[in-house]
Amino acid sequence: MMKPFIIDFQICNHYVSEPELQRLIAQYQSSGQFTYDELTAFLNTVIFNARLKLLDHSDGSFRNLCDTAQSMIGRGLESIGIPVRILDIGAAIHEEALGHSVLIADLVCEGKPYPVLIDITYQQFCLTENCLDSCYIKKDGFVLMSPDPGYVAKKNPQTTEVIRRLLEYGYLPWTKEIAKNYCDTFFLSRTGREEEIEKQSHTGEEYLAMTRKSNRGYSNSVEDLKRKGLLLFSSDQHHYQK
């Protein structure tokens, strides 16, 4: 029997209570930063809650829900004063790469900038049925159709582990190492001239620079999210921007 996902993972279910989450938020709003332990508890809880809400709109693969997920999380983080960037990874790294909306949260941890990649829907690219050699369609030296990014992730042990952590936690520190492994899965699974795909790649620093230039808006308004039951935090407690 075929496994549903090409990479094995177990969703992180470490989270704090609602009163503790509100305490962490108040502490951040007061000081403008988290300790590392506070940051971990905050992100684990926010991501767990976001996944639960999104499951009401998905079969568990989160297919085609990246825009909705990033609107939910991004608008929620902004409502408590955390700056975010919404990125289209495909548009940022190559016009032939798969389009995918992700979030970079610009946090502060123990006095230092701590950017975090948030992507709770990457598992849609790890469905085994879409990550097979048979998914390739090639003609006259061109790749016309290719497997999903999870196929590329599975080929490299280091990338496999990076993506496994992303699948489990839904977020990772946005470092050059993470950027290299994460963005390669999109860059190397693109369509186009086969020879160019095989030869080209980028460093982590280059990917970070590319993604700094890409900044898009939200696809879901606050009212859209409220109607769908997808507000991350209560609008009575936190100020959502329209």
pLDDT in tens, 7-17: 999 999 999 99
Predicted confidence at residue 161, as pLDDT, reads: 98
What gap in Å lies between CA 138 and CA 128, rounded to an integer? 20
Which range has the worst mean pLDDT, 9-13, 156-160, 191-195, 206-210? 191-195
Confidence of residue 200 (pLDDT cuts 50, 70, 90): confident
pLDDT in tens, 118-154: 999 999 999 999 999 999 999 999 999 999 999 999 9
If one counts every other C-beta atom within 10 angstroms of the C-beta of residue 39, the result is: 20
Predicted confidence at residue 236, as pLDDT, reads: 60
211: left (phi over 0), alpha (psi -120 to 50) or beta: alpha
How large a percentage of the chain has pLDDT more than 70?
A: 97
Predicted confidence at residue 242, as pLDDT, reads: 62
Predicted confidence at residue 117, as pLDDT, reads: 98
Task: Please enumerate in sequence order all residues whose Cβ is within 8 A of that of 37, keeping only pairs 6 or more positions apart, or say none.
Answer: none
32: left (phi over 0), alpha (psi -120 to 50) or beta: left
Q: What is this structure's pTM?
A: 0.94
Predicted confidence at residue 197, as pLDDT, reads: 84
Residue 219: pLDDT over 80:
yes
Mean pLDDT estimate for the chain: 93
Confidence of residue 216 (pLDDT cuts 50, 70, 90): confident
What gap in Å lies between CA 162 and CA 135, rounded to an integer? 23
Query: Residue 154: what residue type?
Result: K
Predicted confidence at residue 98, as pLDDT, reads: 87
pLDDT in tens, 71-93: 999 999 999 999 999 999 888 99
Confidence of residue 213 (pLDDT cuts 50, 70, 90): confident
